[in-house]
């Protein structure tokens, strides 16, 4: 049972904008080939005579001779001699590879004898038999040899020398092409793979970016410098050499870079960090040199390196060094520190793992400006929803403000996916426009998972789930400062959730006090407490609740300094975090006795909060029964129905 779900607890999703449903999305005009700068080849259908036509011609002749030519019956040499003795073979052609004999002799108009059209022809491989000619003479068999024709001689040379050599050259060319990763010959490994993006080609400008106003303001200043550098020079100011965009996946770092390319009006070189890394040592450094040489020729310009952590990892992060990656990083450091700031070459990079970057990259003079692209706030989420819903047929009654308030913790990519999922749901329900209910269902799908209609529970399990979720909801309703209940459901969703209670924060929160943290623990323990009160025993459905409650209490004691013994003391681990997410390493900085105290304090705190939860739910036992029975009937209960059960009792509390 997935008990209490909040949007801020969802996993980060990839920044991918899928195309909206055709019935809901307005058509976009096709790209003009003249504007795109792509010219169609005018000689596409022209016939060009080259060496390959000759090769194909001779291969065809060889195949015709091989498959369509006369194929005599091949017999053993001893059998061939026996047919000579018996008189079946009257004429023999002596060749280097084969002896060919015919059973009938005819004469032409000049009296020359030749093989008949309907004769039986035999072929055998010659054997070093000195008496064979005497055998032919004794049986009056005609024998002869004929000179090798030019065609046969050329065919032998072609098949023996030219064709194998040509195949070897073709294989060498193919392998060199593949190893290099494209056209240009085997000697162009060091050429950079940067793509030159022209203004307007990205289709994105700063007007299409929302929810990251501070980051956009910093980048607008960079664009302004490239367009009007004289006003900076007059006052003596210098533009930063490098701008690093930092943020969790899906927050819009690449989108901001595309907006810069669409606004800047100067050459924009786009490249991924992985494009520098190659199998051969030294290739990455050569590509860095080539990239910066080309950038200087086209200055003023911008170089954008996406996923910088692919080449910018700290050189002392691991024992097993990678010479190729280190050489590439060293060359990048030299190039960034080597050119003149007045040259107009600016480095723009993006990463979601800043903690593993080499310190030399982050020092002033290289990436002077580091911009955090964070998840959007309420105002930013509404602006993002407005942008992504422009090309979607949305009903006039849809309130994007309510949707933004219900999506706390969503990134820009999450919101784009939300709009697309709502459009898909509208089409599934045979509607011409996206309704408010479609957005609500899409939020529920993204937060809680896909509805599992095939997972059928028996009546006993449904009753346990109903009381479990009602316990969560009642604790949320009667806990001060707890997030209000938005929906209660006993419909299975996701991987293992048999039901869920959805709470929606009324506002964005950045600070939480000790009482509010303990209140969240109470809400998480409400499901198990309800099971124990009603059924006298507990199930495994509270596994996720206990994990999250334990994590909150552990952080209160070890990281937030909220314990009696170690008040105002940080007892966390020496760890590397992934922008507040997954921990990549951990090393404790306290003794074993302290660890024992932390474990005992966690158990003590959770036990005290569980007893408090039991007491509160026992006082609300009648309400617990009413809501759970109603939930069993309708399976999904919204906030309006739930609050109607609470009535004035909730307001007084």
H/E element, 538: none
3-state SS string for 241-290: CEEEEECCCCCCHHHHHHHHHHHHCCCEEEEEHHHCCCCCCCHHHHHHHH
Q: Which residues have CB under 8 Å from 590's CB, separation 6+?
A: 571
Of the candidates 389, 336, 341, 390, the one whose C-alpha atom is nearest the C-alpha of residue 367 is 336
Place of tokens 């036990």: 607
The alpha carbon dihedral of 168, 173, 176, 178 has a sign of negative
Are 55 and 69 a contacting pair, CB within 8 Å?
no
* Residue tagged active-site, from 2, 278, 469, 601: 469
Structure tokens at 354: 């800043």
Among 204, 224, 419, 191, residue whose Cα is nearest residue 302? 224
The sheet with strand 485-489 has its strands ordered as: 4-5, 500-503, 485-489, 636-638
User: Which residue's entry shows tokens 């050259």?
Assistant: 169
Which candidate, 251, 378, 243, places its Cα nearest to that of 304? 243
Contacts of 280 (CB under 8 A, 6+ apart): 189, 324
- Residue whose entry in the numeric block shows the structure tokens 């979720």: 469
Place of tokens 């124990």: 532
Distance CA 332, CA 273 (A): 11
What residues does 349 pair with on adjacent strands?
Answer: 244, 305
Q: Is 382 within 8 Å of 419 (Cβ atoms)? A: no
Write b or e for each residue in 135-157: b if 16 or more Cβ atoms lie within 10 A of its Cβ, otherwise e: ebeeeebebeeeeeeeeeeebee
| 302: its two tokens | 């911008």
Q: Which residues pair with 305 in a beta bridge?
A: 271, 349
Classify residue 303 as exposed, middle or buried by CB count within 10 Å of its CB (0-12, 13-18, 19+). buried
Active site residue 531: no
Which residues are catalytically annotated?
469
């Amino acid at each position: 049972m997935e008990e209490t779900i909040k949007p801020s607890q969802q996993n980060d999703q990839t920044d991918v904008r899928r195309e909206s449903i055709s019935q809901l999305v307005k058509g976009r005009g096709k790209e003009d080939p003249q504007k795109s700068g792509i010219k169609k080849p005018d000689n596409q259908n022209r016939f060009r005579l080259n060496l390959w036509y000759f090769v194909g011609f001779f291969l065809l002749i060889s195949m015709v001779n091989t498959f369509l030519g006369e194929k005599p019956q091949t017999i053993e040499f001893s059998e061939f001699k026996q047919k000579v003795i018996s008189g079946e073979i009257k004429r023999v052609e002596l060749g280097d590879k084969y002896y060919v004999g015919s059973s009938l002799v005819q004469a032409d108009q000049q009296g020359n004898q030749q093989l008949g059209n309907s004769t039986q022809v035999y072929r055998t491989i010659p054997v070093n038999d000195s008496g064979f000619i005497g055998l032919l003479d004794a049986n009056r068999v005609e024998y002869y040899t004929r000179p090798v024709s030019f065609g046969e001689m050329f065919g032998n040379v072609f098949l023996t020398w030219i064709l194998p050599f040509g195949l070897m050259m073709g294989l060498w060319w193919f392998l060199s092409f593949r190893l290099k990763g494209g056209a240009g010959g085997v000697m162009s490994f060091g050429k950079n793979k940067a793509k030159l993006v022209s203004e307007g080609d990205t289709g994105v400008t700063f007007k299409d970016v929302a929810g990251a106003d501070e980051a956009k303001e910093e980048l607008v200043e960079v664009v302004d410098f490239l367009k009007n550098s004289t006003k900076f020079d007059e006052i003596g100011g210098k533009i930063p050499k490098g701008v690093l965009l930092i943020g969790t996946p899906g927050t819009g770092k690449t989108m901001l870079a595309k907006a810069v390319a669409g606004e800047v009006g100067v050459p924009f070189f786009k490249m991924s960090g992985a494009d520098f890394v190659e199998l051969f040592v030294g290739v990455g450094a050569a590509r860095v040199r080539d990239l910066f040489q080309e950038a200087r020729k086209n200055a003023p310009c911008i170089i954008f390196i996406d996923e910088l952590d692919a080449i910018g990892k700290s050189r002392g992060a691991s024992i097993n060094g990678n010479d190729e990656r280190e050489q590439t990083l060293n060359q990048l450091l030299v190039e960034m520190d080597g050119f003149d700031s007045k040259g107009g070459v600016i480095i723009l990079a993006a990463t979601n793992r800043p903690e593993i970057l080499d310190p030399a990259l982050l020092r002033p003079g290289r990436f002077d400006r580091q911009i955090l692209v964070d998840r959007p706030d309420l105002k930013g989420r509404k602006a993002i929803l407005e942008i992504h819903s422009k090309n979607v047929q949305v009903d006039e009654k849809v309130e994007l403000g309510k949707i933004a308030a219900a999506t706390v913790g969503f990134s820009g990519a999450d919101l784009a996916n939300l709009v697309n999922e709502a459009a898909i749901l509208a089409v599934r329900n045979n509607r011409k426009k996206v309704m408010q209910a479609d957005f609500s269902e899409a939020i529920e799908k993204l937060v809680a998972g896909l509805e599992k209609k095939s997972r059928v529970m028996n009546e006993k399990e449904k009753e346990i789930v109903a009381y479990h979720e009602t316990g969560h909801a009642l604790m949320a309703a009667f806990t001060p400062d707890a997030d209000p209940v938005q929906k209660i459901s006993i419909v299975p969703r996701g991987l293992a959730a048999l039901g869920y209670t959805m709470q929606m924060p009324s506002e964005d929160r950045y600070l939480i006090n000790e009482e509010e943290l303990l209140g969240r623990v109470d809400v998480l323990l409400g499901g198990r407490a309800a099971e124990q009160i009603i059924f006298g025993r507990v199930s495994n459905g509270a596994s996720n609740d206990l994990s999250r409650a334990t994590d909150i209490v552990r952080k209160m004691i070890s990281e937030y300094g909220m314990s009696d013994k170690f008040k105002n003391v940080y007892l966390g681990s020496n760890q590397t975090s992934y922008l507040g997410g997954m921990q990549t390493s951990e090393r404790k900085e306290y003794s074993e006795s302290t660890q024992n105290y932390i474990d005992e304090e966690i158990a003590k705190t959770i036990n005290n909060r569980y007893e408090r939860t039991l007491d509160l739910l026992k006082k609300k036992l009648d309400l617990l029964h009413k809501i759970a029975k109603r939930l069993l009937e309708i399976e999904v209960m919204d906030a309006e129905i739930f609050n109607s059960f609470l009535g004035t009792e909730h307001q007084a509390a």
